[in-house]
Amino acid sequence: MSVEQMVQIFRRVLGTKDVDERSDFFDLGGDSLLATRVLSAIARECGTELSYEDFVDDPSARGLVARMVAVVS
């Protein structure tokens, strides 16, 4: 998954276009329930399972893509 694809997931889940690759999901109004929707979308679209802790450690599109690469490698 590319960073741009992750940004699109964030935009869809948060309902805003005010997201870039470094935006903090939680600063944009995201919460734990919305984070689970992002994690579900990642699993569905890429087959990669990330944990909520992965999300909290770096809640940006760029950070989650880096976590995905680390999990797959």
CATH of the domain at 29: 1.10.1200.10
Give the list of residues 6+ apart from residue 61 with CB closer than 8 angstroms, or none: 3, 6, 7, 9, 10, 19, 20, 21, 22, 23
Domain count, the chain: 1
Mean pLDDT of 16-35: 96
Average pLDDT over residues 47-61: 94
Q: Give the domain range for residue 51.
A: 3-72
Q: Is the C-alpha dihedral spanning 19, 64, 72, 51 positive or negative?
A: negative
Report the predicted TM-score, pTM, of the whole model to 2 decimal places: 0.91
Q: Could you tell me the pLDDT band of residue 34, with boundaries at 50, 70 and 90?
A: very high
